Structure 1
Amino acid sequence: MQLPNRLKIPSFLQKLYWVVDPVGYMEKAVQQHPDSFTAEIIGFGGNVVFVNHPQAIQEILTNDRKKFAAIGELSRILEPLIGEYSVLLLNGNHHKRQRQLMMPSFHGERLDIYGQLIRNMTEEVCNQLPFDKPLSALDVTQNISMEVILKVVFGLSEGERYRKLKDLVPKFVSEIFSSPLKSSFLFFPFLQQNLGSWSPWGRFIRQRQQIDELLYSEIAERREKNDPERVDILSLLMSAKDEEGQPMTDPELRDELMTLLIAGHETTATAMAWGLYWIHHVPKVREKLLQELDTIGDLKDPMNIFRLPYLGAVCNETLRISPVTIFTLPRAVQEPVTLLGHPLEAGTVVQACIYLTHQREDLYPQPKQFKPERFLEKQFSPYEFLPFGGGVRRCIGDALAQFEMKMVLATILSSYQLSLAGRQPERLQRRGIVLGPANGVKILVKGRRARQESLVTAANALSS
């Protein structure tokens, strides 16, 4: 099969380079082939065509299920983590059904309810932080994100099951995401050998079994004690029914909960840690953002925070310059097509590369600079800015993730004085299937912050 712009690196070295340093791999490739290139990487059994040109991305995402269709190859990597019934791995009508069952739980008026919980949980975590002691911002945001998952998604805030999940899940996530070496067993199947608790795969299997037992116990208890007044996402998923009146099965619920644990916990925590880094790495951004936060009369109203334009721009620029997800889910060509002038045969695997798209000089001048203003000056299309993927495979929890990111950053910045503790600039590093800060974003909490009351008073006067 003739594929465009093939990389001239031996297959095994490509796979190794991809696992150890995906950012370096992509940046080297795009220097040779700016808009698209063919690579051989792990997880697809052969070649994959990466594209980062908006025109090609639009062609792929708007012709989903027709010229391009989602494929199950990704399950080779993700299935051990999230299970075969996850919405991420399903295709066709099965995917459509599962997505329709899940979608209402993440949008609408429920975000306002979740916002109050997120703010309270952020304050509880931050109130326990020591002053003038180097901390990992990623550890802090992971703690907050874990509380959000347990309380907003699972509806758990106390009890033995809550405590066990709070202890087990971070260990499970760390086993996968803490370094490229630890996550390598996902990409190299021959490493998936259960040699006991001392082996990486053995620890992974045992931790997953322990979490499964807790999840199935919670599902069983909810079915026995149905409470229609509960608004947590698990309860809403259990009450949802498809067009034929059928609810999700226990295995389906388990796999969607694991998807939310893995995708919702680590990715959102990583994005928030990056946000804290960039805000403090560029002092004028921090100053401007604090001025905006100080104009809010009532910080306890989640919608006041959610609508702040500069905060939204800061979050978008964070997701642009340091996207958590490297690429969209893979698609397979269904019939011969031409993409960017290159003919592709049926069966060719294509992916939109989020990282490289966000680094295009023609879309984002000076792409290595953190400039939130670009999102106030221009409206980017879904094919130019796609931190949550796109098309029918766009992340189902994107609204909740963005809402959480804004609430947490606003709560921390308005209440505490922070500074970066690390001397070296942060860099993107593979953490399992996501891109995270290599050093975890080292910060110092200098003390409590007093809001600029004059600005708050002026804002109240204008609104009255």
Structure 2
Amino acid sequence: MQLPNLLNKPAFLQRLQWVIDPVGYMESAAQKYPDIFTAEVIGFGNTITFVTHPQALQEILTNDRKKFAALGEENKLLEPLLGNYSIIMLEGDRHRKRRQLVMPSFHGDRMRTYGELIQNITEKVWSQLPKNQTFITRNATQDISLQVILKTVFGVHEGAKGEALKQKLAAMADLFRSPLTSSFLFFPNLQKDLGYLSPWGKFLRDRQQLDELIYTEIAERRAENNTDRIDILSLLMSSQDEAGNPLTDQELRDELMTLLFAGYETTATAMSWALYWIHKQPEVREKLLQELATLGDSPDPMNIFRLPYLTAVCNETLRIHPVAMLTFPRVVQEPVELLGHKLEPDTILVGCMYLTHQREDLYPQPKQFKPERFLERQYSPYEFIPFGGGVRRCLGEALALFEMKLVLATVLSRYQLTLADSKPEVPRRRGVTLAPVRGVQMKITGESTCQQSISSLAAMTTI
């Protein structure tokens, strides 16, 4: 089979670089083949064609299943984490129906309900950080994101149950914090249980303990049968398919794991990147503070969500550092032509979000952080694609952006921060995502100008 622009490098070296240095690997390939190239990497099969051209992405992601099919079986890389019944693993009508069941969890009045919760969690976590001492920003945003997930998805608040879920989920996610440990996902031969002290053995035991907590929660909910709860687990448990069948315990477990991992790690990383760039470029911070000041002392979460410059900052963060690198794969179903290349059936295609966001023809000076791009131009869903596209577009996009904006607004309105490390942050593999290599080291140096004004006003009122 003739594949487009097959990279001329030994397969083993390609796979090794893909795991250790994916950014360098992708950028090197794009210098030679900017629109489409074929790589020998491990992930969604061994030979994958990367596509970065927006028009080609649109054709792949929106075409009917006669040409390009989204096959869940190509996502087996994630099966150890998410299970076989996750929406990510499903295909065709099963995927469509499951998506219809899950989608209402992230829209409508539920989002408004989550707003105050996100703000309160942010205030609590940030108030516990040390003043004038270096802390790792990603640890703080990870704590916020995890608590938001536990409360919105599980409806679990403080107490032994919430703490147990929090610890086990964090332990599982932390296993894949580096390229070395991430290699266990990419090389199945490494997935051997050599006891609790071995990485995979520890992962399996942590997963089993987390599963026990999840199944216990599901059983208690079924016995409780409380129709007034608004968390996502309760909504999923009350959902039925067209035949009137509810989700099984296994299906619920796998969907919960998908929501936990997809919404926890990714949102935490995006927020830490945003805080890095906001304080790397002080003029961005000043513009944000000016915009936030227009809303008054106690702004409504939905008004924060609609702020144009805050939205531009979040979009530029997700452009320059998309947390996920690739769309879910599509498989060619019949002979087709794409960008002048003839593709045969069974060719595996992925949209490369990272490289699309680095295209000079779309984003001049792509390495520079310039939120104004998104105020000056409207990008199509295939030019700006941080949440994937088509029928596999991220279900949690609305909640992730809502959380990101509210956390940034809450932190900036209350605290003055400074970067504690003069070295530039660079992305490094963390599981199947990219995260800042040092986690963004910062210090709290005082109250923000917004908070100072509020405090002064309160003092004058008291007098």
Shift of 1:288: 0.6
Q: Which runs of no fewer than 5 residues in structure 2 stay unpaired?
A: 455-463
Structure 2 counterpart of 1:75, one-letter code: N
2-side partners of 1:384 and 1:213: how far apart?
A: 42
Question: CA separation in 2, counterparts of 1:293 and 1:109?
Answer: 23
**Per-residue CA shift, 1:132-154, capped at 9, x if unaligned?**
11111100000000110111111
CA distance in 2, matches of 1:333, 1:408: 41
For normalisation by structure 1, the TM-score amounts to 0.96
The aligned counterpart of 2:440 is: 441
Cα deviation, residue 70, structure 1 = 1.1
1:37 is displaced (CA, Å) by 0.3
Q: Which moved more, 1:92-101 or 1:63-72?
A: 63-72
Contact 2:415 2:451 in 1 (8 A): no
Q: Which residue of 1 aligns with 2:353?
A: 354
Counterpart residue type for residue 6 of structure 2: R
User: Which position in structure 2 is the counterpart of 1:81?
Assistant: 81
Residue of structure 2 equivalent to 1:15: 15
Contact 2:182 2:430 in 1 (8 A): yes
Name the CA distance, whole Å, in 1 between partners of 2:350 and 2:290.
40
Q: Which residue of 2 aligns with 1:197?
A: 196
RMSD over aligned CA atoms reads: 1.5
Q: Does 1:280 align with 2:279?
A: yes
Distance 2:62 2:303 in 1: 34
- The question of whether the paired residues in 1 share the 8 Å contact of 2:327 and 2:351 is answered with yes
Following the alignment from structure 2 to structure 1, what is the Cα–Cα distance between the partners of residues 57 and 297?
Answer: 41
Shift of residue 283, structure 1, vs aligned partner: 1.1
Who is 1:55 aligned against? 55
Matches of 2:299 and 2:237, distance apart in 1: 30
CA contact under 8 A between 1:422 and 1:443: conserved in structure 2? Answer: yes
Aligned-pair distance for 1:62?
1.1
3-state SS of paired residue (1:230): coil
Equivalent residue for 1:123?
123
2:137 counterpart of 1:137: yes
Aligned to 2:269: 270
Deviations 1:56-91 (A, max 9, x none): 001101104231001234432100000011111110
How far off is 1:298 after superposition? 4.6
How many Å apart are 1:168 and its aligned residue?
A: 1.5
Equivalent-residue separation in structure 2 for 1:452 and 1:12 (angstroms): 55
1:246 aligns with: 245
Deviation, structure 1 residue 299: 3.4
Match in the other structure for 2:304: 305
Question: Given that residues 416 and 448 in structure 2 are in contact (C-alpha distance below 8 angstroms), is that contact kept between their aligned partners in structure 1?
Answer: yes
**1:300 Cα shift?**
4.3
The question of 1:2 aligning with 2:21 is answered no
Aligned to 2:461: none
Matches within 5 A, 1:11-410: 11-176=11-176, 178-410=177-409
What secondary structure does 2:331 align onto?
A: strand
SS of match in other structure, 1:124: helix
Q: Tell me, in whole angstroms, the C-alpha distance in 2 between the residues paired with 1:329 and 1:28.
A: 22
Distance 1:276 1:44 in 2: 32
- One-letter identity of the residue aligned with 1:230: R
8 Å CA contact 2:62–2:390 kept in 1: the answer is yes
> SS at 2:175's partner residue?
helix
Aligned pairs, number: 456
How far did 1:454 drift? Answer: 8.1
- Taking structure 1 as reference, are residues 360 and 195 closer, same or farther at Cα in structure 2, changes over 3 Å only? same
User: Shift of residue 160 of structure 1?
Assistant: 2.1
Structure-2 separation of matches of 1:300 and 1:248: 39
